[in-house]
Amino acid sequence: MSPTVINSSDGSIRPRRLVVLISGSGTNLQALIDAQNTPALPHTSIVLVLSNRKAAHGLTRASSANPPIPTAYLGLQPYLRQNAGKKTREDYDLEIARIVLGARPDAIVLAGWMHIVSEAFLEVLQGARALPPREREGKEGQENGEEDLTPLHPIPVINIHPALPGQFDGANAIQRGYDAFQRGEVDKLGVMVHRVVAEVDRGEPLIVREVPIERGEPIETYEQRLHEVEWEIIVQATTRVLDEVKPLPQEVVEKNIE
């Protein structure tokens, strides 16, 4: 059982810490922001929103939240250009992991994060691989007082995907699913939140919901219906994984239900 969230000094409850990775509009992020410290997502604070795209509106949602949520940005191509010939895509992923771990998360949510993360990223968050020392002038890594960010327990990483398990893995799943349904190639569509593993969108499904669709209806009406389901299940799944790693005391859970 992971350490309790109770503060030993005064018995208060330490908020569970959530990091959210985004690339775009951030409506799923907004659902999480709105759910913080409600019975849907109790005793939980988003401590960092990280985007791989500078123009992601989700960054504005975070900075406009009350209280404002710290944000960070690191784009793959700018990173590779700034380190031309010296850094790889995996190095980028490890830098993302370093930024994320610096926020000391209890769980990580990919909420429209349009970047395939490497095995190395996942291994670092599982505590199975150490981050490389941060490159600085003079001494390397631990010798220069760099804090050890290695997590003591595996940090769950989950992802919201607008398709059913095994359906339309990867990007553009909404359009691909819609087109397949209208062509009569599939008879149902939906959304899921799943654990993130190296194989894209093939991690254990945590919550799966079908989304009704009608022949001939415009994609816009289907997509709106789909997003509304996403906004529910992303909160439910996040609470579930937080309860796995940082369960709340039973008396707090019961008080929440009142």
Ligand X SMILES: NCC(=O)N[C@@H]1O[C@H](COP(=O)([O-])[O-])[C@@H](O)[C@H]1O
Ligand Y SMILES: Nc1nc2c(c(=O)[nH]1)N[C@@H](CN(C=O)c1ccc(C(=O)N[C@@H](CCC(=O)O)C(=O)O)cc1)CN2
Q: Which residues are catalytic?
A: 161
Q: The tokens of 79 are what? A: 């990173």
Indicate whether 111 belongs to the interface with ligand X (CB under 6 A). Answer: yes
Q: Answer whether 149's CB lies under 8 Å from 131's CB.
A: yes
Burial profile 212-240: b = 16 or more Cβ within 10 angstroms, e = fewer: ebeeeeeeeebbeebbebbbebbbebbbb
Enumerate residues 6+ apart whose C-beta is below 8 A from 94: 120, 121, 124, 131, 132
Q: Answer whether 158's CB lies under 8 Å from 196's CB.
A: yes
Q: For ligand Y, which stretch binds (CB under 6 A), given 59-67, 109-117, 204-212, 237-245?
A: 109-117
Whether the ω angle into residue 67 lies within 30 degrees of 0, i.e. cis, is yes
Q: The tokens of 207 are what? A: 């919550």
Indicate whether 71 belongs to the interface with ligand Y (CB under 6 A). Answer: no
Indicate whether 118 belongs to the interface with ligand X (CB under 6 A). Answer: no
Q: Answer whether 31's CB lies under 8 Å from 117's CB.
A: no
Q: Could you say which of ligand Y, ligand X, none residue 5 binds, taking C-beta under 5 to 8 angstroms by partner kind? A: none
Strands 71-73 and 107-110: unpaired
Q: Could you say which of ligand Y, ligand X, none residue 103 binds, taking C-beta under 5 to 8 angstroms by partner kind? A: none
Indicate whether 26 belongs to the interface with ligand X (CB under 6 A). Answer: yes
Indicate whether 26 belongs to the interface with ligand Y (CB under 6 A). Answer: no
Residue nearest to ligand X (CB): 112
Q: Could you say which of ligand Y, ligand X, none residue 128 binds, taking C-beta under 5 to 8 angstroms by partner kind? A: none
Binding mask 49-78 toward ligand X (x if CB under 6 A, else -) reads ---------x--------------------
Distance from first CA to last CA of the chain, Å, rounded? 26
How many residues form the binding site for ligand X (CB under 6 A)? 17
Considering only CA atoms, give the Rg of the chain: 19
Binding mask 225-244 toward ligand X (x if CB under 6 A, else -) reads --x--x--------------
Residue ranges in 148-177 that form contacts with ligand Y under rule CB under 6 A: 159, 161, 170-171
Q: For ligand Y, which stretch binds (CB under 6 A), given 10-18, 25-33, 195-203, 245-253?
A: 195-203
Could you tell me which of 26, 188, 14 has the C-alpha nearest to residue 106?
14
Binding mask 173-202 toward ligand X (x if CB under 6 A, else -) reads x-----------------------------
- The residues that bridge with 207 in the sheet, in sequence order, are 193
Q: Tell which one of 55, 128, 171, 253 touches ligand X (CB under 6 A).
A: 171
Indicate whether 161 belongs to the interface with ligand X (CB under 6 A). Answer: yes
Q: The tokens of 53 are what? A: 């795209």
Contacts with ligand X by CB under 6 A lie at 22, 24-29, 58, 111-112, 160-162, 171, 173, 227, 230
Contacts with ligand Y by CB under 6 A lie at 110, 113-117, 159, 161, 170-171, 196, 198, 200-201, 203
